[in-house]
Structure 1
Amino acid sequence: MPIIRWNPWEQFGDMDRFFEEGAGGFVPALDIYQTKDAVIVETPLAGIDPEDVEVSIENDILSVDGKTERQSEVDEKNFYRKEVRYGSFHRSVRLPVAVLGGKAEAKSENGMLKITIPKAPEAKSKAIKVKVVKGKK
């Protein structure tokens, strides 16, 4: 059974997300899961050109940045409801395991961005025997 690292501050990420969403942009939702060899991150980015999306990984922190622009001009006062968000977006999340960020691959298909990041090899623990000698008085 693998040990899962608990981060007591992770809950505050939800609060950051709340304030970021209130600032006019949007924060894409993420699904993160793992296979035997990789961490997989999926995020729905329907209607966003893959050329306008940037994915980066540094120190096991994944960042997804991009922008979306309004395709048609509509006078603001003609809206009955305005829920579609336009502008730039950003999402960063610490990945749950060490990864090889330089070998990550991202593919956009049918509005879903799928990022596959190989896991870093686990450091193997090694038992070391230490000889104890009697000291002088």
Structure 2
Amino acid sequence: MAITRWDPFRDVLALQNRMNSLFQDYARTGGDDLVSTASFVPPVDIYEDEHRIVLKLEVPGMKQEDFDIQLENNTLTIRGERKFEKEEKEENFHRIERRYGTFFRSFAVPNTVNTEQVKAGYDAGVLRIELAKREETKPKQIKVQVGAGPVKTVENKPAA
């Protein structure tokens, strides 16, 4: 018999996931508008390297003009709308599982980002936003000198 360690937080997390699922289902089925103002929430991946922060939103079936991307007061806001395309002839849909309508995502941007260098691209259903970091916030390599004697403090003076 294997001995497992009891983790009370695991049960709390499971309860939280169930509650989130209930609220999401309620919003999807046309519940009160107070629960959710967006029709769907696209999933996002966020990663960072030494030069930039990158966001990738999964939003297939959209056009470039369907996006509204703004960066203001250290907040990146992404809005969009995926429209349900109806054809002239009547179709008998058996199931519609893809989400349509408007979406809204908002992200806090750290002060290390250069707000003048933001790029956005859309390819294969993925919206990619790159936020370049400021030069002064990038990590700097410091070389260690062996046998150099005591360390002396050097003033940083602007180049003339």
TM bucket (normalised to shorter chain) is 0.5 to 0.7
**Corresponding residue of 1:4:** none
Moved over 6 A (4+): none
Check if 1:72 corresponds to 2:103. Answer: no
> Partners of 1:20 and 1:64 in 2: how far apart?
23
Check if 1:54 corresponds to 2:68. Answer: yes
SS at match of 1:101: strand
> Partners of 1:20 and 1:100 in 2: how far apart?
39
Residues 1-137 of structure 1 aligned to structure 2 (within 5 Å): 18=24, 22=28, 23=36, 25-73=39-87, 78-95=92-109, 98-120=112-134, 121-122=136-137
**Corresponding residue of 2:154:** none
> Partners of 1:20 and 1:93 in 2: how far apart?
24
- Could you say what the CA RMSD is over the residues aligned between the two structures, in angstroms? 3.1
Please list every run of 5 or more consecutive structure 2 residues that lacks an aligned counterpart in the other structure: 1-15, 29-35, 138-160
- Note the alpha carbon deviations across 1:107-127, whole angstroms, 9 max, x for none: 1111111111111333xxxxx
Q: Which structure would you say has the larger Rg?
A: 2
Instruction: Report the residue type matching 1:34 in the other structure.
Output: E
- Give the deviation of 1:97 after TM superposition: 5.6
SS at match of 2:113: coil
Structure number with the bigger relative contact order (C-alpha 8 A, sep ≥ 6) is 1
Count of paired positions: 108
TM-score for both structures, normalised by structure 1: 0.64
